[in-house]
């Protein structure tokens, strides 16, 4: 099990990695467009790499096979050991994935909504298969069977792909992903911070600290 942070903000990533609970980073064009619309992508990702450890996923945004492979080569060169190419799932995406796999490039197949999609991506050699929890729920479906069934078939067939569950909207999404067998929940900073907080924990710590400060007093 591992937790990735879903962000492109180097300052926040550095702060959260100091907790010692994170193992990697995922980004996507929507996140980067919101957090740093004017940033140079290469500089931004290099900053992220410098303040983190583990795999850093960077998503392809072109649409033809040739363009996607060229884009992947550019991203991979930024740090071949840590860059994980995020490949959007499609027929073209599978072809690109297969070629990247043959070259030993780490890959993260993204925008998966169903077990059959994740299975195809795993067969093609994906390092990670990313199931989008919130967007599955947006369609009115329960994402839990998708995660569970995907984990079962990967285990049954000894496929090495790891399940990332992203598009988290609530803290309970994280709990469910873990309970259903996801290898890696990828979580936004606000949700990760909510995982720390509990009112009873705060109340108990305050009670202990107050008792210590007041020891010996009448």
Q: 185, 4 in Cβ contact below 8 A?
A: yes
Dihedral pair phi/psi, residue 145, rounded to 5°: -65, -30
DSSP state of 39: S
31/167 Cα distance (integer angstroms)? 11
Write out pLDDT tens, residues 141-157: 999 999 999 999 999 99
Q: 108, 75 in Cβ contact below 8 A?
A: no
- pLDDT on residue 137: 94
Angle at 88 between CA 85 and CA 89, to 5 degrees: 125
- pLDDT on residue 138: 94
The domain spans of the chain are: 4-213
- pLDDT on residue 217: 78
- pLDDT on residue 143: 97
6/4 Cα distance (integer angstroms)? 6
18/119 Cα distance (integer angstroms)? 35
CATH architecture of 4-213: Alpha-Beta Barrel (3.20)
Tally of residues, the chain: 218
DSSP state of 161: P
DSSP state of 59: E
- pLDDT on residue 65: 98
3-state class (DSSP) for residue 189: helix
Catalytic residues: 86
- pLDDT on residue 208: 96
- pLDDT on residue 218: 65
- pLDDT on residue 17: 98
- Is pTM beyond 0.85 here? yes
Sites in the chain below the pLDDT cut of 70? 218
215: its two tokens: 């020891």
Buried b (16+ CB within 10 A) or exposed e, 95-113: ebbebbbeeebbbbbbbbb
């Amino acid at each position: 099990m591992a937790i990735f942070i879903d962000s492109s903000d180097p300052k926040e990533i550095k702060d959260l990695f100091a907790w010692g609970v994170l193992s990697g980073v995922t980004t996507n064009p929507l996140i980067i467009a919101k957090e740093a619309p004017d940033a140079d992508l290469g500089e931004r990702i290099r900053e992220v790499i410098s303040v983190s450890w583990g795999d850093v996923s960077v998503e392809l945004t072109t649409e033809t096979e040739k363009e996607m492979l060229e884009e992947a080569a550019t991203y991979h060169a930024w740090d071949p050991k840590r860059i994980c190419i995020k490949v959007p799932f499609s027929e073209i995406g599978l072809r690109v994935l297969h070629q990247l796999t043959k070259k030993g490039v780490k890959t993260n197949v993204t925008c998966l909504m169903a077990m059959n999609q994740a299975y195809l991506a795993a067969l093609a050699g994906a390092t990670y298969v990313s199931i989008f929890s919130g967007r599955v729920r947006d369609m009115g479906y329960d994402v839990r069977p998708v995660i569970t069934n995907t984990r079962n078939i990967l285990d049954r067939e000894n496929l090495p792909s790891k399940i990332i569950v992203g598009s988290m909207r609530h803290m309970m999404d994280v709990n469910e992903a873990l309970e259903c067998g996801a290898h890696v929940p990828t979580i936004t900073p606000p949700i990760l911070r909510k995982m720390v907080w509990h009112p009873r924990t705060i109340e108990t710590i305050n009670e202990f600290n107050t008792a210590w400060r007041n020891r010996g007093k009448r």
